[in-house]
Amino acid sequence: MKRVVVIGSGPGGSSCAALLQSRGLEVTLLEQNEFLGGKCSTREENGFKVDTGIHMFATGVSGPHGQVARELGVPQPWLSRDPSESMWLNEKGIWYLYQKLHSPAAIREVVMANITGRQEFDALNTLKRSVSNFGLRGLMHELHGIRKALPWFIEKYDRVTTSEFLHLFTDDVIIHRAMNCLSMLLLVVPSTRSSAGEFISVFSEIFRYGTLGVPRGGAIGVPRSFMRAFRRDGGNLVMGVAATKILVDGGRVTGVLGSDGVEYPAEVVISNAGLKQTVDMAGPENFPGEYVDYVKGLELSYSWMASKLFIKGRGLDLKAPSFFPIPQVEPERIFEYCDEPGGLPADPFLFCPIPTDWDPTLAPPGHQLILVGVPTSNEVDQEERSQKMLDIAEEKFFGFFPDVRDKVVARSRITNKDTNRITRKGTGECIGLAQIPGQTGVDKPHPKMPVEGLWAVGCDAGARGVGTEQGTASGMLVASLVS
């Protein structure tokens, strides 16, 4: 029987390990932390269950997490809300996003146009017409339908940035602002850098399924359900042990050396540690020189930090369990501060989910949890700047909702330093590889690495999608290729 070592229990590693074990392979999973899930995890704080990130799951039960849980035959309960988001566009007020763009509630708000053309020219014309007739909502409706109507459209625009793509048919400032913010929210890269194909792909998936949601009990619910199957099927889970070296002999892997000094023999090694770290662990001398250079040149995503506000009673009563105000800034300059040394946002884009409005069991009875998230670069060594950014973010949030300030009974913050504490990569990126032209979609690195028996899994290899879902989609792909 093939022996497999999986390094890391993020969504990619845990889904892949569980699928392979269920298909009859002999799998050992090494996780360096004492907790499961990597950046998709949950811990207890002040009696609340708090995710390590700012979690919301784009396609929930219908997406890769739900698909893997169903194949493994394990429960993975999901919670959904409709409308799911409230977006503050400008002084005209809040705009609600419904799970299905064509739900009766959404349709009541505006009549929409449909893509009928099969040619690119028609598609761009239709986009132009919809945007000029129905503004942002017209665009969102068309992007949602485009994947189904014109499947080739996504690959065609993989190598174009989202903002270049939008400029093909509109210069509308409100649309460019909103799309830049959605790009930062979904791909954690501004629209001036993100891949349009990837953006259209993830955006249309969300509204195709209409099941954006959260796992009951917090983000940990996803890797925990996979690991339940893994243990049931006899998998060997080793917690608190890091892989320090991937053993290679004669051009093929032979196993992994753990930080416990034990050698774990394997014919197949699957690494969820990131492509760059995997090349380092296996030894660059074991790869073709051009592959080492290619991996060195790959760029990582930006990041998010958050203030977590623990509230007594109810601080916020919104129709949707999240709030995001769009900055009143020139569209393509919204995230410029991220790349400036010491840069701070005058008017930051915020993402404020209210996890307890999805799942009240995350808080003690009569309490609410509100997150105030703000985007940043992926550097770790900028703690003072991070704290200042979060001060600015909180002030902006309290500007919208002044009554909440007095109801905060405790607060905590996560910054890139905390994300790095989980991954130990020396960087604080949210996702993994940045979903930018040249390294996503048609150009995404293949999970098979050029050493026999060595595979990458997770957000650095093989799949499309939003954050955790991209990780699990990669887990499904690698499991099918290996098994």
Ligand X SMILES: Cc1cc2nc3c(=O)[nH]c(=O)nc-3n(C[C@H](O)[C@H](O)[C@H](O)COP(=O)(O)OP(=O)(O)OC[C@H]3O[C@@H](n4cnc5c(N)ncnc54)[C@H](O)[C@@H]3O)c2cc1C
Under the rule (CB under 6 A), what is the footprint of ligand X? 7-13, 30-33, 38-40, 53-57, 242-243, 272-273, 277, 304, 419, 422-423, 430-432, 458-459, 466-469, 471
Q: Nearest distance from residue 114's CB to ligand X, in Å? A: 29
CA-wise closest residue to 424 among 1, 2, 3, 8 = 8
What is the CA angle 333-318-112, rounded to 5?
65
User: CA torsion sign, 316 to 320 to 323 to 327?
Assistant: negative
Q: How far is the CB of 78 from ligand X (least distance, A)?
A: 13
Q: Of 123 and 220, which has the nearer Cβ to ligand X?
A: 220
**H or E stretch at 162:** helix 162-167
Length, in residues, of the chain: 483
Residue 185 DSSP SS3: helix
Name which of 11 and 145 has its Cβ closer to ligand X.
11
Indicate the residue among 130 and 415 with the shorter CB distance to ligand X: 415
| Least Cβ distance, residue 305 to ligand X (angstroms) | 7
Q: What type of residue is 339? A: D
Residue closer to ligand X, measured from CB, 146 or 430:
430
User: Closest separation between CB of residue 245 and ligand X, Å?
Assistant: 9
From the CB of 328, what's the least distance to ligand X, in Å? Answer: 25
Helix-, strand-, coil-residue percentages of the chain, each rounded to 5? 40, 20, 40
SS3 104: helix
Q: Could you report how far apart the first and last alpha carbons of the chain are, in Å?
A: 11
**Which of 130/423 has CB closer to ligand X?**
423
Minimum CB distance to ligand X smaller for 65 or for 144: 65
Taking Cα atoms as reference points, which of 73, 144, 69 lies closest to residue 102? 144
Q: With beta carbons less than 8 A apart as the criterion, state whether 126 and 113 touch.
A: yes
Residue 187 CA to residue 181 CA, distance in Å, equals: 10
Q: How far is the CB of 373 from ligand X (least distance, A)?
A: 7
